[in-house]
Chain A
């Protein structure tokens, strides 16, 4: 069986309508929930603050902006602080780890951009050096 006849016989039209509707509604609900997630987390944080004594704030060794600049050279300047903590050459996993420990936003994407810009240079055997 071929053509429209085959589609009708195998219930294809119904599947092609209901299927995307389910996916779209599922992901729409998920996106609505995650758009409100920060408010929910903030409520729980407030409650937790009220019930616990204020903790002594430990200052990070490295101050990280909440959003990295678009300019890759500016981003590189910020990453320079991390690089100074690593021995050259280094593995990318070490850089990811130290970036995550210091709460750098989007370390995987940023490192990829730094590689594309030729700031992180592959030295072979999985090691990289920083192009100063």
Chain B
């Protein structure tokens, strides 16, 4: 009888508290959104299921939880805390990215730079709310709308905030179809939304091959702290463009990135244990994340409108919203909003140019923030 009682006192039913149930509900919501609504399922399903795994109550000391040093989850979580998974994701991302539209219209790169304003505005907001500088920098990077970059910087500056920051970053990436279109419509007129972009010039294979080398040199010399992200990114891209290692490029953009995404999502989800995750700081982080993402979207659009004052050939300001680095979600959204106004106006290719420059821009911002905080 005593053995039975002892066993019962070690079950999840006995050990559970209300925080576990709140997180289990959130995890279930993510799984539902991923499967039923297909909101970024590649991200939300692993994270949602990870939240479920991480919030099943267990007997501490058995080496089961993600924060217990000898647990399997802890070993898998090492890829997050060390910044390993984000680097691998960037490798795959580089091997997927086609820079031809950006090379054809380099001006669009400025929209990717302008959208990073969300990061810097949020840095100030977070500091004003009482976060320490390293925490504020980790929260601010959510404005880049780049999950791996957010996780990477947070792992380096404020590892105790990885859970809420990663969840906030990925949630807002999944919520792009809800957050971005109203901002786009609010800041643009119909006349602006129907501006057609001219066909881009064709890009030679040589240009595509030279770009990753130039990009690596310039960006990493400027912000060496971004090497762990941009190094693999441009390496993945040169593998793709050179055409001499197709097998490696193909592996990087399929098996390698998929494996990293699975473990990244699952362990980030599992790191949101109710007792660690549910606190006022997490709520502030979610609010600041929304601010960061909205400012990033708005600043890209506004910058495009400012550019139009000085340019003969007008840019469709919707493209500014794709300056955040949520690839390809924000580009797709720009394309869809454009299509709603004019079903024959295809903006996707141009939006992808802004999107890929946003990836580079947010990684540079992460490098700059890291060096600011280190100094």
**A-side interface residues toward B, CB under 8 Å?**
1-4, 6-7, 10-13, 15-16, 19-20, 22-24, 26-35, 37-38, 40-41, 44-45, 66-67, 70-71, 93, 97, 100, 103, 105-109, 112-113
Contact residues in B for A93 (Cβ distance below 8 Å): 250, 254
Question: Can you name 26 A-B residue pairings with CB atoms under 8 Å?
Answer: A2-B128, A7-B124, A7-B127, A12-B136, A13-B124, A15-B369, A16-B120, A16-B124, A19-B120, A20-B116, A22-B222, A22-B223, A23-B361, A27-B357, A28-B109, A30-B360, A38-B201, A38-B204, A40-B210, A41-B210, A45-B206, A66-B202, A67-B202, A106-B101, A108-B96, A109-B101
Establish whether residues B110 and A24, one from each chain, have CB atoms under 8 Å apart when the complex forms.
yes
Residue of B nearest to A2 (CB): B130
Chain B 18-58, CB-CB to A under 8 Å as 1, else 0, gives 00000000000000000000000000000000000000000
Instruction: Compute how far the CA of A67 lies from the CA of B222 in the bound complex, rounded to whole angstroms.
Output: 34
Chain B contacts with A in 99-123, Cβ cutoff 8 A: 100-103, 106-107, 109-110, 112-114, 116-117, 119-121, 123
Contact residues in A for B288 (Cβ distance below 8 Å): none
Q: Out of B110, B129, B202, B206, which one reaches A31, CB within 8 Å?
A: B110
Instruction: Compute how far the CA of A77 lies from the CA of B140 in the bound complex, rounded to whole angstroms.
Output: 46
Task: Determine if B214 is an interface residue (Cβ-Cβ < 8 Å).
Answer: yes
Residue of B nearest to A13 (CB): B124
Establish whether residues B100 and A106, one from each chain, have CB atoms under 8 Å apart when the complex forms.
yes
Contact residues in B for A35 (Cβ distance below 8 Å): 106-107
Task: Determine if B365 is an interface residue (Cβ-Cβ < 8 Å).
Answer: yes
Interface-central residue, A27, A35, A67, by most chain B CB under 10 Å = A27
Interface-central residue, A23, A24, A26, A67, by most chain B CB under 10 Å = A23
Contact residues in A for B215 (Cβ distance below 8 Å): 30
Distance of A16 from chain B, by nearest CB (Å): 5
Chain B 198-211, CB-CB to A under 8 Å as 1, else 0, gives 01111111110011
Task: Determine if B257 is an interface residue (Cβ-Cβ < 8 Å).
Answer: no
Task: Determine if B364 is an interface residue (Cβ-Cβ < 8 Å).
Answer: yes
Establish whether residues A15 and B120, one from each chain, have CB atoms under 8 Å apart when the complex forms.
yes
Distance of A55 from chain B, by nearest CB (Å): 15
Establish whether residues B123 and A27, one from each chain, have CB atoms under 8 Å apart when the complex forms.
no
Distance of B240 from chain A, by nearest CB (Å): 9
Instruction: Compute how far the CA of A106 lies from the CA of B356 in the bound complex, rounded to whole angstroms.
Output: 14
Question: How many A-B Cβ pairs are below 8 Å?
Answer: 144
Instruction: Compute how far the CA of A67 lies from the CA of B100 in the bound complex, rounded to whole angstroms.
Output: 12
What 5 A-B pairs come out closest when comparing CB atoms?
A66-B202, A31-B106, A27-B113, A31-B109, A35-B106
Main secondary structure of the interface of B (DSSP, over half): helix
Establish whether residues A12 and B361, one from each chain, have CB atoms under 8 Å apart when the complex forms.
no
Task: Determine if B372 is an interface residue (Cβ-Cβ < 8 Å).
Answer: yes
Establish whether residues B364 and A23, one from each chain, have CB atoms under 8 Å apart when the complex forms.
yes
Q: Out of A2, A37, A105, A108, which one reaches B210, CB within 8 Å?
A: A37
Residue of B nearest to A33 (CB): B214
Instruction: Compute how far the CA of A19 lies from the CA of B219 in the bound complex, rounded to whole angstroms.
Output: 14
Establish whether residues A105 and B218, one from each chain, have CB atoms under 8 Å apart when the complex forms.
no
Contact residues in B for A24 (Cβ distance below 8 Å): 110, 113-114
Contact residues in A for B372 (Cβ distance below 8 Å): 15, 19
Residue of B nearest to A7 (CB): B127
Contact residues in B for A28 (Cβ distance below 8 Å): 109-110, 113
Known contacts A23-B365, A32-B106; A2 and B129 CB within 8 A of each other: yes
Instruction: Compute how far the CA of A10 lies from the CA of B133 in the bound complex, rounded to whole angstroms.
Output: 6
Residue of A nearest to B205 (CB): A103
Contact residues in A for B113 (Cβ distance below 8 Å): 20, 23-24, 26-28
Distance of A69 from chain B, by nearest CB (Å): 9
Residue of B nearest to A100 (CB): B243
Establish whether residues B121 and A33, one from each chain, have CB atoms under 8 Å apart when the complex forms.
no
Distance of A93 from chain B, by nearest CB (Å): 7
Contact residues in A for B348 (Cβ distance below 8 Å): 109, 112-113
Instruction: Compute how far the CA of A1 lies from the CA of B133 in the bound complex, rounded to whole angstroms.
Output: 12
Distance of A132 from chain B, by nearest CB (Å): 23
Residue of B nearest to A10 (CB): B133
Establish whether residues B130 and A27, one from each chain, have CB atoms under 8 Å apart when the complex forms.
no
Contact residues in A for B254 (Cβ distance below 8 Å): 93
Q: Out of A11, A27, A107, A112, which one reaches B361, CB within 8 Å?
A: A27
Distance of A75 from chain B, by nearest CB (Å): 10
